[in-house]
Chains A and B, each alone.
Chain A
Amino acid sequence: MRKNIFILFTCLLAIILLVIFHSYFSSTLVTSGDWVYYYPQGVHDAQFLAAWDWRHDGLGASILPTLWLESYFIATIKISLILGWGLYEKIFWFLPFLAFSIISSYLLAKKVTNSKLFSLLAPLIYSANTYILMVMGGGQVGVGLAYSFAPFVILSFLNTVENTNLSTSFVLGLMLAVETIFDIRLSYIVIIALFLSLLFFIFSSKEKKNLRTIFYCFILPGIVTAFINAFWLLPVAVVGRDAFNQFGTIYSSNNAVSYFSFAKFENSIGLLHPYWPDNIFGKVSFMKPEFLLLPLFAFASLFFINKKNVREGQVILLFALLGLIGAFLAKGTTDPFGGIYLWMFNHVPGFVMFRDPTKWYLLVALSYSVLIPLTVVRIYEFLLIKVKKSKYYSYGFIAAVVLSLLFLIKPALFGQLNGTFKAVQVPSEYQQLANYLSHEPQGRTLWVPTTQRFAYNSENNPAVSAQDIFGIYDQKKLIKKLHQPGTEKFLQDAGIQYVIVPIDFQHEIFLADRQYSEKVYDQTLWGVSEIPWLNRLWRFGNLAVFEVPTPKDHIWSPNPDLQIDYSVVSPTKYTVTVDHAKKGDRLVFSETYDRHWIGNITNDNVELTSVKYDGILNSFILPTDGNYTFTISYTPQTLVNVGAGVSALSIVCIIIVIISQKKKGKTKKI
Chain B
Amino acid sequence: MKPQDILFIIILAGLVFAKKPKLLVGAGLLCFVLSMPLFAHWVFFTAERLVMYGAGFLLVAIIIFAVKNL
Chain A interface (Cβ < 8 Å from any Cβ of B): 200, 203-204, 264-266, 269, 286-290, 292, 295-296, 299-300, 302-303, 305, 307, 310, 313-314, 317, 320-321, 324, 327-328, 335-336
- Residues from chain A with a CB closer than 8 A to the CB of B29 are 296, 299-300
A-B CB contact pairs (8 Å), 20 listed: A200-B66, A200-B70, A266-B35, A269-B55, A287-B44, A290-B36, A292-B32, A292-B36, A292-B39, A295-B54, A299-B25, A299-B28, A300-B25, A302-B58, A302-B61, A305-B65, A317-B66, A317-B69, A335-B52, A336-B52
Docked pose: A286 CA to B37 CA in angstroms: 14
Whether A266 touches B47, Cβ cut-off 8 Å, given contacts A287-B39, A302-B58, A324-B62, is: yes
In the complex, which residue of chain A has the Cβ closest to the Cβ of B30?
A296
Closest chain B CB from A372 CB (angstroms):
13
Docked pose: A203 CA to B67 CA in angstroms: 10
Closest chain B CB from A313 CB (angstroms):
5
Chain B, range 4-43, C-beta contacts under 8 Å to A: 21-22, 25-26, 28-29, 32-33, 35-40, 42
- Residues from chain B with a CB closer than 8 A to the CB of A307 are 69
- Residues from chain B with a CB closer than 8 A to the CB of A264 are 48
- Partner of A310 from the list B35, B37, B69 (CB cut-off 8 Å) is B69
- Whether A287 lies near B47 (C-beta < 8 A) is yes
- Residues from chain A with a CB closer than 8 A to the CB of B28 are 299
- Residues from chain A with a CB closer than 8 A to the CB of B42 are 286
- Residues from chain B with a CB closer than 8 A to the CB of A328 are 55
- Residues from chain A with a CB closer than 8 A to the CB of B62 are 302, 317, 320-321, 324
Docked pose: A310 CA to B66 CA in angstroms: 11
Docked pose: A366 CA to B53 CA in angstroms: 23
Closest chain A CB from B68 CB (angstroms):
9
In the complex, which residue of chain A has the Cβ closest to the Cβ of B38?
A289
- Whether B21 lies near A302 (C-beta < 8 A) is yes
In the complex, which residue of chain A has the Cβ closest to the Cβ of B42?
A286
- Residues from chain B with a CB closer than 8 A to the CB of A200 are 66, 70
- Residues from chain A with a CB closer than 8 A to the CB of B69 are 204, 305, 307, 310, 313-314, 317
- Partner of A295 from the list B32, B52, B70 (CB cut-off 8 Å) is B32
Contacts A269-B55, A290-B36 supplied; 11 other A-B pairs, CB < 8 Å = A200-B70, A266-B35, A266-B47, A269-B51, A289-B35, A295-B32, A296-B33, A302-B61, A305-B65, A305-B69, A307-B69
- Residues from chain B with a CB closer than 8 A to the CB of A203 are 70
In the complex, which residue of chain A has the Cβ closest to the Cβ of B33?
A296
- Whether B32 lies near A317 (C-beta < 8 A) is no
- Residues from chain B with a CB closer than 8 A to the CB of A266 are 35, 39, 47-48, 51
Docked pose: A336 CA to B51 CA in angstroms: 10
- Partner of A320 from the list B36, B58, B70 (CB cut-off 8 Å) is B58
Docked pose: A320 CA to B52 CA in angstroms: 15
Docked pose: A292 CA to B58 CA in angstroms: 14
- Residues from chain B with a CB closer than 8 A to the CB of A287 are 39, 44, 47
Docked pose: A299 CA to B22 CA in angstroms: 11
Closest chain B CB from A310 CB (angstroms):
7
- Whether B48 lies near A265 (C-beta < 8 A) is yes
- Residues from chain A with a CB closer than 8 A to the CB of B25 are 299-300, 302-303
A289, A296, A303, A310, most chain B CB atoms within 10 A: A289
Docked pose: A305 CA to B47 CA in angstroms: 28
- Residues from chain A with a CB closer than 8 A to the CB of B26 are 303
Closest chain B CB from A503 CB (angstroms):
41
A200, A286, A288, A320, most chain B CB atoms within 10 A: A320
In the complex, which residue of chain A has the Cβ closest to the Cβ of B48?
A266
- Residues from chain A with a CB closer than 8 A to the CB of B36 are 289-290, 292
In the complex, which residue of chain A has the Cβ closest to the Cβ of B35?
A292
Docked pose: A501 CA to B69 CA in angstroms: 65
Closest chain B CB from A264 CB (angstroms):
7
- Residues from chain B with a CB closer than 8 A to the CB of A305 are 65, 69
- Whether B55 lies near A265 (C-beta < 8 A) is yes
Closest chain A CB from B25 CB (angstroms):
4
- Residues from chain A with a CB closer than 8 A to the CB of B65 are 302, 305, 313, 317
In the complex, which residue of chain B has the Cβ closest to the Cβ of A286?
B42
Docked pose: A522 CA to B42 CA in angstroms: 40
Docked pose: A321 CA to B59 CA in angstroms: 7
In the complex, which residue of chain A has the Cβ closest to the Cβ of B67?
A203
- Residues from chain A with a CB closer than 8 A to the CB of B32 are 292, 295-296
In the complex, which residue of chain B has the Cβ closest to the Cβ of A325?
B59
In the complex, which residue of chain A has the Cβ closest to the Cβ of B39?
A289
Docked pose: A327 CA to B54 CA in angstroms: 12
- Partner of A299 from the list B37, B48, B58 (CB cut-off 8 Å) is B58
Docked pose: A31 CA to B40 CA in angstroms: 36
- Residues from chain A with a CB closer than 8 A to the CB of B51 are 265-266, 269, 292
- Whether A314 lies near B35 (C-beta < 8 A) is no
- Whether B39 lies near A314 (C-beta < 8 A) is no
Closest chain B CB from A632 CB (angstroms):
57
Docked pose: A265 CA to B45 CA in angstroms: 12
- Whether A303 lies near B40 (C-beta < 8 A) is no
In the complex, which residue of chain A has the Cβ closest to the Cβ of B57?
A299
Whether A289 touches B58, Cβ cut-off 8 Å, given contacts A265-B52, A313-B65, A317-B66, is: no
